[in-house]
Chain A
């Protein structure tokens, strides 16, 4: 993509969408006609069904037409809030470029997905790995200390990249094959402070909110996005 070329409307192409272990390779993000713009996942093979609201392993799945929130719009749910966080709520056309569920068995996949989507946002190579490491540390914290699983979202906005990791028992419906059991989770190294310290060093801004529903951490990276998505 040349410098002057506009990116596609939804950022990186979504190759697959998973729901309860089923991979919908034809799934795509669709945009509603009404304003404010809403995005949703639709399975091309069965357009009327949507993909269901509940996420299993892999991509978070929305009902067709369900709103894809910006970081600010998701504030307040389950006691998770990021008050005063600048930017996203006022940004028009926030691009949700990644929306994944993860657990200990899919951390590696989550890293690969983050690497791909941040690279697409044309962040410099070194900064891509900074984002990957920071997001991984947040996800690892969710695995070790937040119920063993979580949800990761990345928004590519006009001026920055936003990454939000929510922990909680998001995948209680099934223990995916390969996931660590609780005893194994308890044996994982417990260094939350160190991981978050690294995240603070890497990100341009970080905010953590805890509530009854769990902990939500939002981080911001300034950089490549502004040059290509303005």
Chain B
């Protein structure tokens, strides 16, 4: 089964949820828990690093959408790092690529996370 662990790390003061290679119904609960933990680390936004992720089903998408909505209600933002073609594809199909900010690297996502505070 896919790796059930979604560690939450800190990078430059920003919580980063590190996603495994595959996200599906069997480990989406772990993703939801990690997203909740990252949101609880502070009032700012956080990053979900899916750069290793090669497959994400609608259960994973559902967890990310809920986290995005929750963050939006609290006037903060989650940022996703996505490089896998199949993952980009499901974001395009569902239209989420126009809803949740996507970045090609963790560095870019972190830079975007810091930008508002530097202004």
Give A residues with C-beta under 8 Å from B.
Answer: 104-105, 107-108, 111, 125-126, 129-130, 132-133, 136-137, 140, 143-144, 178, 180, 187-189, 191, 194-195, 198, 201-202
Q: Tell whether, in the assembled complex, residue B57 and residue A195 are in contact, meaning their CB atoms are under 8 Å apart.
A: yes
Q: Tell whether, in the assembled complex, residue A198 and residue B94 are in contact, meaning their CB atoms are under 8 Å apart.
A: yes
- CA gap between A153 and B54 in the complex, in Å: 23
- CA gap between A209 and B95 in the complex, in Å: 28
Q: Tell whether, in the assembled complex, residue B2 and residue A126 are in contact, meaning their CB atoms are under 8 Å apart.
A: no
Query: Is B58 interfacial (CB 8 A cutoff)?
Result: yes
Which residues on the B side are within 8 Å of A189 (C-beta)? 25, 28-29, 59, 62-63
Q: Taking the nearest CB of chain A, how far is it from the CB of B30, in angstroms?
A: 12
Which of these, B24, B25, B63, B93, contacts A201 with CB under 8 Å?
B93
Q: Tell whether, in the assembled complex, residue A195 and residue B58 are in contact, meaning their CB atoms are under 8 Å apart.
A: yes
The prevalent SS among residues of A at the interface is helix
- CA gap between A78 and B55 in the complex, in Å: 33
Q: Tell whether, in the assembled complex, residue B2 and residue A108 are in contact, meaning their CB atoms are under 8 Å apart.
A: yes
Q: Tell whether, in the assembled complex, residue B29 and residue A126 are in contact, meaning their CB atoms are under 8 Å apart.
A: no
**Residue of B2, B58, B63, B94 contacting most chain A CB atoms (<10 Å):** B58
Give B residues with C-beta under 8 Å from A.
Answer: 1-2, 22, 24-26, 28-29, 55, 57-59, 61-63, 85-86, 89-90, 93-94
Which residues on the B side are within 8 Å of A191 (C-beta)? 58-59, 62
Which residue in chain A gives the minimum CB-CB distance to B56?
A133
Which of these, B29, B57, B63, contacts A133 with CB under 8 Å?
B57
The prevalent SS among residues of B at the interface is helix
- CA gap between A107 and B58 in the complex, in Å: 14
Given known contacts A130-B89, A188-B29, what 19 new A-B pairs fall within 8 Å (CB)? A104-B1, A107-B1, A107-B24, A108-B1, A125-B85, A126-B89, A129-B89, A133-B55, A136-B57, A137-B57, A137-B58, A140-B58, A189-B28, A189-B29, A189-B59, A189-B63, A191-B62, A194-B61, A198-B94
Which residue in chain B gives the minimum CB-CB distance to A105?
B1
Q: Taking the nearest CB of chain A, how far is it from the CB of B67, in angstroms?
A: 13
Given contacts A191-B58, A194-B58, A202-B93, contact A104 B86 (CB under 8 A): no
Q: Taking the nearest CB of chain A, how far is it from the CB of B96, in angstroms?
A: 11
What are 20 contact pairs spanning A and B, CB under 8 A? Answer: A104-B1, A105-B1, A107-B26, A108-B22, A111-B22, A126-B89, A129-B86, A132-B55, A133-B90, A136-B57, A137-B57, A140-B24, A140-B25, A140-B57, A188-B29, A189-B62, A194-B58, A195-B59, A198-B58, A198-B93
Which residues on the A side are within 8 Å of B25 (C-beta)? 104, 107, 140, 143-144, 188-189
**Residue of B55, B57, B59, B85 contacting most chain A CB atoms (<10 Å):** B57
Which of these, A126, A129, A130, A140, contacts B59 with CB under 8 Å?
A140
Q: Taking the nearest CB of chain A, how far is it from the CB of B56, in angstroms?
A: 9
- CA gap between A210 and B81 in the complex, in Å: 40
